[in-house]
Structure formats: C-alpha cells, structure tokens
Amino acid sequence: MKFGVLQFPGSNCDQDAYFAVQDVLGLPVEYLWHQDTDLKGSDVIIVPGGFSFGDYLRCGAIANFSPIMGAVKEFAAAGGLVVGICNGFQVLCEAHLLPGALVRNDGQFFVCKHVNLRVENAATLFTRGCTGGQILSIPVAHGEGKYVCDDSTLASLKEKKQIIFRYAEDHDNPNGSTDNIAGIANETFNVFGLMPHPERAADADLGSSDGLFLLKSLLQGIK
C-alpha cells in the first residue's frame, strides 16, 4: 500500500503527513507536486494542511485548478481513497469532492489548540478502529475552518450519516461550524475531509496520540 501526499506552493503540513505515514505507520509514501498529473501508483491520497497558494482568493480555490487535482478527481470518481486535512478539506470542498464550504472562523481569529472530537460514524474506512461516541483529542490550526452548508445539504449529511466527526461540545467548537461539524465524507465514503490535524497527534510526545485511531483505521480498512 502506498500513500501520496500532495504539495502545493504554501503547503506546510505535507511533511507532518509524510512523517505520520512513513515513520509512524511504516508505509511507503511519496510527495506529489501540484504540477504533476500522475499519482505514481498511490493507493491513498492525502491533501495536507497549510496555505495553498497563500490562501489568496479563497482557501483552496486556486489549488483546485492545479493539474494534480484533475488526477485526484479521476481517482476519487473511480473509488480511490482521498483524505483532506485542514486546508486539504478546503481544497476538497472547492473541488466539489465534498459538499459545503469553509469560511472565516467566528470572531475572525486564527485558532491553534487541542479540541475534543466525537466520533459520529464509526462504520467508515476512516474510523472503523474507533467506537461510536468516542472522544478524541486532536489539534486544530486554522483561520477559515467554519463549515457551512444549506439546510438541504445538512439534512442529507445527517440522513446518510456522512458527518464523521463533530466537536464534542459547543465549547469545543473553535470556529462556529454548522451543527458542530468537524469532518465529513462524500456519499460513497471514499473521500473524507476534516479540519483537525490527526497527523499532529500521532505520537504521545506531541501531546496526544489519538490521531492514530484515524490513521490505523484507514490502514485496517484498506487491508
């Protein structure tokens, strides 16, 4: 099994994702530059956090037009697994691989801290190593992490159980996201986006190893 980590100008969490895959999971991983059109045999694509193209225009909007994203869209349409973290979540929404959008946090402040997440759907490839209702401590670091969508989209997400993570309580919601949403999947559950950073909680020395529940869930699910 091989992972591919996308790199855009301004990405700054690509190395964290690379480390989590190679040094924590012990799996092969390769960087994929934004001008590439070949996913180089990757079985899982990670769209990492950061400030792709400096977050000029809207977060993730310019990255959506990078050549590599054409390959990612084809990969996802064929059932390939794609994970977007923080800015990667924003990119996936801009690419219409996930519904809704991410906008400025309530209060207009950049937020960087650990938050408590509740597992809402433990029956996905991304969470099958978790239990429903489990609370995970995962850090966030974003200025535009408020998830928004219209009422019909929210109703559909709830009905189809596409809401994978919520901030555990209102006081854990760092950005004012609709319905405390922290992470969602697409209808076929092969594309997943979340604002918190599991790759930054993959080692107890980092303050939490709860991110391993997601990383190992993905590994277990693929196997």
Q: What are the structural domain ranges in the chain?
A: 3-222
pLDDT at 27: 93
pLDDT at 172: 94
Please determine, for residue 179, whether its predicted confidence score (pLDDT) is greater than 80.
Answer: yes
Contact 83, 119 (CB under 8 A): no
pLDDT at 78: 98
- In whole angstroms, give the CA distance from residue 5 to residue 216: 17
User: Between residues 204 and 149, which one has the greater pLDDT?
Assistant: 149
pLDDT in tens, 112-127: 999 999 999 999 999 9
pLDDT at 223: 65
- List Cα–Cα distances, 93 to 109, 128, 148, in angstroms: 21, 24, 11
Q: Which residues are catalytic?
A: 86, 197, 199
User: Can you tell me the mean pLDDT for 167-172?
Assistant: 95
pLDDT at 126: 94
- In whole angstroms, give the CA distance from residue 94 to residue 121: 24
CB-based contacts of 171, cutoff 8 Å, min separation 6: none
Please determine, for residue 220, whether its predicted confidence score (pLDDT) is greater than 90.
Answer: no
pLDDT at 221: 67
Using the CB atoms, write b or e for 19-36: b if 16+ within 10 Å: bbbeebbebebebbebeb
Pairing between β-strand 81-85 and β-strand 191-194 as defined by DSSP bridges? parallel
Contact 101, 89 (CB under 8 A): no
**Domain 3-222: CATH architecture, name and number where available:** 3-Layer(aba) Sandwich (3.40)
Residue 3 pairs with which residues in a beta bridge? Answer: 29, 44
The pTM score is 0.96
- In whole angstroms, give the CA distance from residue 22 to residue 15: 10
- In whole angstroms, give the CA distance from residue 107 to residue 173: 12
Give the 3-state secondary structure of residue 206: helix
Strands (E), 13-134: 29-33, 44-47, 81-85, 101-103, 111-119
pLDDT in tens, 82-108: 999 999 999 999 999 999 999 999 989
Please determine, for residue 66, whether its predicted confidence score (pLDDT) is greater than 90.
Answer: yes
